[in-house]
Structure formats: structure tokens, C-alpha cells
Structure 1
Amino acid sequence: MMNTDSSPAPFANNHQYTGDVTVGGPSDVRELRTLTVRKAAVGDMDNNAYLLTCRVSGAQLLIDAAADFPRLMELVREGSATGRLDTIVTTHAHHDHVGALSAMVASTDARTVAGAADAPDIPTPTTQTVSHGDVIRVGVNDLEVVGLRGHTPGSIALIFRGEGADGDHVFTGDSLFPGGVGATQGDAARFESLITDVEQRLFGVLDDSAHVYPGHGADTTIGTERPHLEEWRERGW
């Protein structure tokens, strides 16, 4: 008899996710109840790419097709032997976050999503533009779109609100890192915009346990960074 139960398959989560990845090295994997997060490092600027796989439907979403098309396709196949990729979200329009976007779209026919204000600067056409408060689906999972204006006008983050012990997870692109917000090239107005959005739209709505996945480098948590917000404001970057 066919199993029609739509609940996720049980898993033994014995792997301790660290988020420490290197270009040319293996992905790191975090298993949540309905979602698997895979992190890989690609390209000359050590960009992070994240593959989100729905554990119920098999749908897949890639955050930032930054560079190294073969490695990104390998990442996609880690989640789906058939190479299924439904959606590619670009967190912002900077060149180091879109280097493999065109090739990924051509190979997978995935739809593309980006912030409305950044879409015109992305060389590959954007299927769907989004703004703060919108929702993107990956299978049965909702990803909340958070507008974080300043690093670029249309930079976005994505929040996945896990159930129970899974906690909340936020993919911040280049808008929030361990130790500070993203670069604003010394522009005081851009910095004010970014730090205010980060304070209100991330720190203002997420618990300290929320896991932060940035566009480069190591992961962090909201709780680790929260005590330093005033310090960041005072230094101006």
C-alpha cells in the first residue's frame, strides 16, 4: 500500500552542525523537522550558498547562486538526486552573489526571486520581485522576506520560523555578520538605514537563540550579536 502520510521521514540527527565550510570542501548540513539546510562555500570571495530542502515535498530553494556552477549543482544534487531546484533567491545584486545565477537557471529552469529595488541590477531576469513582509514558499515551509536597506537598496534576508526545538533561522546575505552589519562605504545615510532595519526587523522580532547564516564566513546567533548593537552605532559601521 502506498504511504500517503505527508509528515517528514524520521531522521537521526547525529551530525553536529558548525557552519564552518571552506571553498572546495564539503557542505555542512543541519536537519530540522521539515527543512534541511545545506551550506557550502564557493568562489574567490568565499561566498556562502545555502540549499534549503523541504523534507516533506522535496522542493528545493537555493540562496545566492554566487559562483562555481559545478559546485552549486553538486550541492543541489546533495538534496535531490534528480537535480531538482525550484527557486533561486538572490539576497542582493552585488556581482559576487550572482556569478553562477544565469548558468543555474539555464540548467534547472528554477524561478528567480530578488528584492524589488535590486532586481534591475541583476543581469539574469528576475521571475518574482519581493518586498519586506512577503513570503516565499519552499514546499510546506514559509520564508519571511525581510527588507534590510543600506548595503544595497533592495537587500533582503529570509527568516524561517522553526517549531519547538528547531528555533528560528535567518539568512542575512551581506546585511548582518558576526561583529557588525554589512558595508555601506562610509555613507552615513546608508549606514543609518541598515542599522535601523537590522535592529527593528531582525533583533526586534527574533529571540536570542535565532541562528544567523551570513553571505560570507561563519554563522552566529542573534543573542551573540545583540549586546554589540550600540557599539556598532557608535563606530558608524
Structure 2
Amino acid sequence: MQHVVTHGTFELDGGSWEVDNNIWLVGDDSDVVVFDAAHDATPIIEAVDGRNVVAVVCTHGHNDHVTVAPELGHALDAPVLLHRGDAVLWRMTHPDKDFRAVADGDTVRVAGTELRALHTPGHSPGSVCWYAREIGPGPGVVFSGDTLFSGGPGATGRSFSDFPTILQSISERLGTLPADTVVHTGHGDSTTVGDEIVNFEQWVARGH
């Protein structure tokens, strides 16, 4: 697994914020899946290094996660995957480009690993976490996008987002995974399901 960080802006509801985004590459020396397409295609293409790209997977449709998705799809000859619930968000960034819709339970296979889509709405209507029960000899891994971070749920309070829904998604979809499942996030440091879910009641009490 490889990790690339790109820098740019997240824009929504008339606001603009400087952000660093994590891009994750899963695969082997021949085939790879790219998680998220943030800001700048060049370092992502360099990390792919000529391998076959099975898919460019967008965890959700906010502009900082799909910035260069069509460009990557074209350059890497790969489908761009996104949940149809985020079609409106996608069109805000790419009004004349298409994506391949994914649904809860869909799978992508790469280098002997099965990645399963877990629809986790709340941060956005179409947010999807991708779970692999095992990658190599270690524990399971989930690529959470902006659904779950080290420190709590992804930000809500903007258009298209809903705090009770993201709490339900985390409880029902991520909270049931093994506690040692590694959470690779869309921004910031990785964590584990167990380290975060113990704080669930505090998130509920916070209410936003």
C-alpha cells in the first residue's frame, strides 16, 4: 500500500479551505486501485508508475476528492467509481463528465484483495467506505474518506451533510468491524475502529 498527499482547496457553500488530502494506492507490482483523486494528478500518476489501474475510487463527491478524477481516469485508462448519491456534488466540479456508479456491497478486486463498498451517508449522501478484511498478514483495513477520522466523525453542518446520519453510518457499518481494523482517512493520520468507536457516546452528546 502506498500513500500520497496532495494540497489544494475544498470549496462548498461559498467557502474555501486549504486542505491536505490523502490518496491511497492498494495493489501489487502489476495492478493497483487508487482511492480518491485530489488536487493534482501528477504525483498520483507518478506513484502508479505504469501499473494497471483497476479503478479510481472516489470515496465521496466533494471537490477536493474528485478534483482530477476524470483526468486520472483518462490518463490511467481506468473507470472512475462514485456512489450515485453524490451525483449532484460531482456535477458541481465536473458538469460534463461521467462516472461509474457503485452501490452498497459492490466489490473491487485487486492483487488478490477484495474491497467491499460500505455506503456510509452523512458527511455526504453518497459517502462510501471501502473495507478489506485483510491486506497482507495484518488486520483489516477500511478507507474511510471523510466519514471517520482520527478524532471523530467527518465534518457535517454544510449542505448535503447530516450529523445523525453519519453517526448511524459509523455505528452500524464501521462500528461492527473488528476493533483492530485500520482506518485510512481522507485527511490526517490513520487510526483504528476500536480507538474511535469508544468515543461514540461523546459524539452523540456533542450533537453536531
For the criterion TM > 0.5, the same-fold answer is yes
Question: By how many angstroms is 1:120 displaced?
Answer: 4.6
Please, which moves more after superposition, 136-145 or 58-67?
136-145
C-alpha RMSD of the superposition: 1.8
Structure 2 match to 1:214: 185
Return the alpha-carbon distance in structure 2 between the equivalents of residues 38 and 179 of structure 1: 23
Q: Is the 8 A contact 2:113 2:134 kept in 1?
A: no
For each residue in 1:12-32, what CA deviation from the matched residue of structure 2 results, as whole angstroms up to 9, or x when unmatched? xxxxxxxxxxxxxxxxxxxxx
Return the alpha-carbon distance in structure 2 between the equivalents of residues 230 and 175 of structure 1: 17
Please, which moves more after superposition, 105-114 or 166-175?
105-114
Name the SS of the counterpart of 1:42 in structure 2: strand
Structure 2 match to 1:147: 119
Return the alpha-carbon distance in structure 2 between the equivalents of residues 140 and 208 of structure 1: 23
* Identical-pair percentage: 32
Count of residue correspondences: 192
For each residue in 1:104-148, what CA deviation from the matched residue of structure 2 results, as whole angstroms up to 9, or x when unmatched? 122111111111211353223112x11222212224221110111
Match among 135, 157, 160 for residue 129 of structure 2: 157
Structure 1 match to 2:26: 52
Residue segments in structure 2 that go unaligned for 5+ positions in a row? 9-18
Structure 2 match to 1:40: 4
Q: Is the 8 A contact 2:163 2:207 kept in 1?
A: yes
Q: Is the 8 A contact 1:157 1:171 kept in 2?
A: yes
Question: By how many angstroms is 1:163 displaced?
Answer: 6.8
Question: By how many angstroms is 1:59 displaced?
Answer: 1.7
Q: Is the 8 A contact 1:144 1:159 kept in 2?
A: yes
Name the SS of the counterpart of 2:85 in structure 1: coil
Question: By how many angstroms is 1:84 displaced?
Answer: 2.6
Name the SS of the counterpart of 1:199 in structure 2: helix
Name the SS of the counterpart of 2:162 in structure 1: helix
More strand by share: 2
Match among 191, 202, 207 for residue 231 of structure 1: 202
Q: Is the 8 A contact 2:32 2:51 kept in 1?
A: no
Q: Is the 8 A contact 2:135 2:141 kept in 1?
A: no
Q: Is the 8 A contact 1:42 1:67 kept in 2?
A: yes
Question: By how many angstroms is 1:48 displaced?
Answer: 0.3
Q: Is the 8 A contact 1:54 1:140 kept in 2?
A: no
Return the alpha-carbon distance in structure 1 between the equivalents of residues 109 and 80 of structure 2: 13
Return the alpha-carbon distance in structure 1 between the equivalents of residues 71 and 55 of structure 2: 14
Residue segments in structure 1 that go unaligned for 5+ positions in a row? 1-36
Match among 63, 68, 77 for residue 95 of structure 1: 63
Q: 1:25-36 maps to which residues of 2 (within 5 A)?
A: none
Q: Is the 8 A contact 1:54 1:141 kept in 2?
A: no
Return the alpha-carbon distance in structure 2 between the equivalents of residues 191 and 76 of structure 1: 35
Structure 2 match to 1:112: 80
Name the SS of the counterpart of 2:131 in structure 1: strand
Which structure has the larger Rg?
1
